[in-house]
Amino acid sequence: MSNVKSVLLVGVGGQGIILASQILSSGLIEAGFDVKMSEVHGMAQRGGSVTTQVRYGDKVDSPIIGKGSADVMVAFEKVEAVRWLEYLKPGGALVVNNYEIPSATVISGAEAYPDGVMEKLEATVENIYVIDAAKEAMELGNIKAQNIVLLGGLIKAMGVEGVDWDKMVEQTVKPRFVDLNLKAINKGMELVASEVKEEVGV
């Protein structure tokens, strides 16, 4: 039986999804897993849909996650969570940022931002962790750190132990942002730690 786990990260260009994925992958490698990661950028470098797929275990043959097979998904924007929800397996965990980024069509007035997005997600996914990552990041001093707040929540939901995540952050981000991001990753872990229902770590 395969012990490979699949993690899907989804959001909008410019939210720091790739950086969060790189820190996650580095930590999983440090923990001794075979890790494969792929990334897909939308049509626009900023503002388009961005996803990364991270798979880890004893031996991973492919980085590609099929529909209905992600053990954990983290959504950096809540409509993106809905867009990619079919990739989460039944019983999988969803970490979602309670944050809106209007699409170009919403900004132009051609359509409205959907109502009741979070209510729909909470009604559909049992194992859900909602984080106001932008608010938490702003309280720490910089909204751009919301990606690392979400990463901390994701790590706690995954239940991957034995990794020095502070070291992973220090090795990845620019030196002047290390203190901010250390606070951010620990804040995300703290927020989800009290709510973890079922860890999915291998």
Residue 131 lies in a domain: yes
- The confidence score (pLDDT) of residue 161 equals 77
Classify burial at 120, counting beta carbons within 10 Å of its beta carbon; exposed 0-12, middle 13-18, buried 19 or more.
Answer: middle
Amino acid in the structure at residue 106: V
* CA 193 – CA 40 distance, rounded (Å): 30
* CA 80 – CA 117 distance, rounded (Å): 10
Question: What is the pLDDT tens value at each position of the chain, 202 positions in all?
Answer: 568 999 999 999 889 999 999 999 999 999 999 999 997 766 545 567 889 999 999 999 998 999 999 999 999 999 999 999 999 999 999 999 999 988 878 888 888 888 899 999 999 999 999 999 999 999 999 999 999 999 999 999 998 878 999 999 999 999 999 999 999 999 999 999 877 655 555 4
Residue 157 lies in a domain: yes
Q: Is 61 helix (H, G, I), strand (E, B) or coil?
A: coil
- The confidence score (pLDDT) of residue 14 equals 86
Q: What is the pTM of this model?
A: 0.90
- The confidence score (pLDDT) of residue 202 equals 46
- Give the domain extent around 21: 5-191
* CA 137 – CA 140 distance, rounded (Å): 5
Q: How many domains does the chain have?
A: 1
Strand-by-strand arrangement of the 5-12 sheet? 34-41, 49-57, 5-12, 70-75, 88-97, 127-131
Q: What is the CATH number of the domain that holds 157?
A: 3.40.920.10
| Residues in contact with 144: Cβ distance below 8 Å, sequence separation at least 6, in sequence order | 16, 137
